[in-house]
Amino acid sequence: MFKTSSISTFIVVFIITSGLICKIGQGNPWSTILPSELLEPNLVTKIRVDTQATNLASTDFGNLTRSLPAAVLYPSSVKDIATLIQASYSASLPFPIAAKGHGHSIHGQALALDGVVIEMSSLKGGDKSRINVSTNPIPYYYADVGGEQLWIDVLQATLQHGLTPVSWTDYLRLTVGGTLSNAGISGQAFRHGPQISNVYELDVVTGKGEIVTCSQQVNQELFYGVLGGLGQFGIITRARIALGEAPKRVRWLRLLYIDFLHFIRDQEYLISIKGEDSDGPTKGFDYVEGSLITDESLLKNWRSSFFSTKDHGRISALAAQHGTIYCLEVSKYYSHFSVDQDVDSLLNGLSFPPGYVFENDVSYTDFLERVHHGEQKLRTKGLWDVPHPWLNLFIPKSRILDFDRGVFKGLLKRNASMGPILIYPMNKYKWDERTSAVTPNEEVFYTVGLLQSATDGWEYLEDQNREILNFCNEAGIRFKQYLPHYSTNSEWKKHFGRKWNMFVERKVKFDPKRILSPGQRIFTPLALQEPNGQGSY
Amino acid letter for position 265: R
DSSP state of 435: S
**Residue 289 catalytic?**
yes
Cα distance between residue 76 and residue 98, in whole Å: 16
Is the torsion defined by CA of 278, 280, 284, 290 positive or negative?
positive
Q: Considering 153, 289, 369, 511, which one is annotated as catalytic?
A: 289
Burial class (CB in 10 A: 0-12, 13-18, 19+), 526: exposed
Angstrom distances, CA of residue 334 to CA of 167, 234, 246: 16, 38, 9
**Residue 404 catalytic?**
no
Burial class (CB in 10 A: 0-12, 13-18, 19+), 308: exposed
**Residue 433 catalytic?**
no
Cα distance between residue 89 and residue 510, in whole Å: 11
> CA-CA-CA-CA torsion for 241, 244, 247, 251, nearest 10 degrees?
-80
Cα distance between residue 399 and residue 418, in whole Å: 26
Q: Considering 114, 119, 153, 170, which one is annotated as catalytic?
A: 170
Amino acid letter for position 72: V
Cα distance between residue 424 and residue 326, in whole Å: 11
Find the helix or strand (DSSP H, E) in which 276 lies.
Answer: none
Cα distance between residue 213 and residue 205, in whole Å: 9
Cα distance between residue 176 and residue 154, in whole Å: 9
End-to-end, the C-alpha distance of the chain in Å comes to 32
Q: Considering 104, 107, 388, 495, which one is annotated as catalytic?
A: 104
Burial class (CB in 10 A: 0-12, 13-18, 19+), 194: buried
Q: Provide the annotated active-site residues.
A: 104, 170, 289
